[in-house]
Structure formats: C-alpha cells, structure tokens
Amino acid sequence: MNSFSRRIFNRGLLYSVPSFMAASALAAQQPAAQSASTPTQPAKLTDWPKGYDPATLAKSVAVHFAESRPNRTSRITYPEVCTWYGALEIARLTADTQLQARLIERFEPFFSTESAFLPLRGEHVDFSMFGGLPLEIFLLNHEPRFRDLGLAYADAQWQKPTPDGLTSETRFWVDDMFMITFVQLQAYRVTGYKKYLDRAAVEMAAYLGKLAQPNGLFYHALDVPFFWGRGNGWFAVGMSQMLRELPANHPQRDTILRGYRTMMASLLRFQGSDGMWRQLIDHNESWPETSSTGMFACALIDGARNGWLSDPAATSAARNAWIALAGYIDQNFNVTSVCEGTNKLNSYDYYMLRKRRTGDLHGQAPVLWTAAALLR
C-alpha cells in the first residue's frame, strides 16, 4: 500500500461547479485549453481550465456522497456501492484521510444495526458485487472483518459454477461485465489468489463471445439488439479494470485486449461534437447521457495511460468527454442527465423515453471513476 500524508479536509475550499450553460460559455472563452488535439498543441490529460480540475471537482462529489445519509428501507443496491467505491478511490488518491475515515465510518452500521440491509449472497449479480466494497476498505485499513465479509460474497458467487466454469449468476446482459468481475478482481487484489482473476477473465471472455458485435459495441442482451449507452459503459469499465490486473501471459488477455481496442475505436467514431455519448450510442437523435460518457472516458483514460491505445485521438476524446461531463454537474454537485435504472426491452422507444435523472447514483459514480483514472 502507498502511504499518504495527512491532509485536513476543509469544506469551505470547495467551489461551485458551473452549470452546463455556464460551462459551455467557459469552453467558448478558452478554446485552446479545451480543444481536441491540434498540430501545435496535442491534447493532454493535465492542465485543466479553472473549474475542471478532476481532483477538486471529484472531491466535491465524493464529499456530497459522504454527507448524504440514506434512510434505508431495503437492501443496499449496486449504484450506492459503485459511488462509495469511487469516493474511496478519490479520498485515497488525494490523500484525504479525513474523507476516507468518514466513508469507512459510514460502513460500520452494516456490522451491527443495519446488518439486515446487506445484500443476499450468490443470488444475483447486482447483489454479489457488493463484496467489492468491504474489500476496498480492507485495502485501506487492513481490518480482517472487512476482508472476510467481502470474500464471502466473492466465493458465494462461484459456489455453483456452470460446466463451462462460469458463475451461476451468468445471464448474458451487458451490465454484468462490471457487476460480476468487480468483486472477483477485488478479491484478487486483496489475496493475490489467481483463482479470482481466472474466474473474472473466463467470464469476460465468454461474454465477449456472446454479446460483442462486429463494430465492437454490445447489445444489451442476446434478445435486445440495442447499443444502450450505460450498458456498454459497464462493459468498457469492466474491461479496463480487468486489463489493469491481467498479466501479459494470461490465456484470456489477448481476447479481452482485442475486444477492448475494438470497442474503443468504435466509441471514437460515435462521440458527439459536444464530447458526449448518447443514450443509444449509434443514434445521433438520442439525448446526451452522462453515466455512459463517464464510463467511456474512464476506459479511454486507462487505455491512454497504460499504453493499450496508441491513437492520440483517444486522449483527445477522453479530455473532451471530461470537460463535457463536468458541465453536467450542478451547483449541488449532482450529475444531471443520468438515465434512470433500466431493464432490458426490445424496443427503441423504451430506451429513448427513459427518464433523465439528477443526482442519480448511476451518474455520480462514473464521475468519480473518471477522475480517479485521471489521478492514478
């Protein structure tokens, strides 16, 4: 573990993020700093204009999450887990030990008064992925109770494997490639046991074989031939997380890297001139959607930083996406234009008419993940 110097959190230092219109005006005033790659000044994932610095902005979003106090009436769900994980990453990467402590303290009731709200184990991908959260906390504080709780979810997920070595939770929905692999990768990061990495890699290779289309994008499910934005975002982030851990000689690495590169090349073609991706990726008439934009930016940043992508257009696309995404964060640090929770349905209208939420954790999490990728 890296050691971090103690930094006292000062809520008063947080600034107000401009609205989308204000951010657009700011972009017009500073074209050189925010433009895509040019012959004289290649795009960089540093030197952000005022109001767009990922460390400051993401910390504001993380603090907003830490200050929220959910009134639980049912089991914790995956959007909260994803946002919590992102907030912990930001606290670690900015060396904010006070924010980190607040986020860990928020988990304490699950060991006592809120234990009834823990998700079921080995029942569904959306429940099992919870285990990655206590494993992340263990990586920060090394308390065995967090490790034990997280590993219980990782092991339960593979308690009844299929003959192909997949988890019984396999359903071949595009969302699963973050949900399933996240907890297994976290278990590998904590223990170093290869079985967890192999589980995740075999699962991802199987999903690539089933859902990937020739253009590199993914249908929502086998019977739903639509390139839904956030669904593809889950797969993009799942692949980039996987590639960060897979050694060069792993049997599934080439398959996953090929799928990742094909997808990223396709995403570059479909990014809007405003830096955003759409609710339905290949439909220009569909609306700009923030959760998918954040996930795609995160995956592109990982590729540019780790050498998986050599095209400088990937860096430009990631930079433009971050600047666009920042403009969708309101003065209360809520992300706007977030697609509501979405089931699958073979209907164009179903996806186009999904409600656009503000502050939905499906959208808060990707902002934190993207900023973390920029800060790593």
pLDDT per position as a tens digit, 127-141: 999 999 999 999 999
Question: Mean per-residue pLDDT for 9-36?
Answer: 34
List the domains of the chain with CATH numbers. Answer: 17-26+51-375 (1.50.10.10)
Q: Please answer whether residues 80 and 86 qualify as being in contact, where contact means their C-beta atoms are separated by less than 8 angstroms.
A: no
- pLDDT value at position 33? 33
Q: What b/e readout covers 274-302, taking b as 16+ CB neighbours within 10 angstroms?
A: ebbbbbbbebeebebbbbbbbbbbbbbbb
Of the pLDDT bands very low, low, confident and very high (cuts 50, 70, 90), residue 123 is confident
Residue 19 has pLDDT above 70, yes or no: no
3-class DSSP state for residue 332?
A: coil
Q: What are 239-259's pLDDT values in tens digits? A: 999 999 999 999 999 999 999
Mean pLDDT computed over every residue of the chain: 90
What pTM did the predictor assign? 0.88
- Please give the angle made by the CA atoms of 227, 330 and 9, to the nearest 5 degrees: 115
Q: CA nearest 136: which of 95, 90, 187?
A: 187
Residue 267 has pLDDT above 50, yes or no: yes
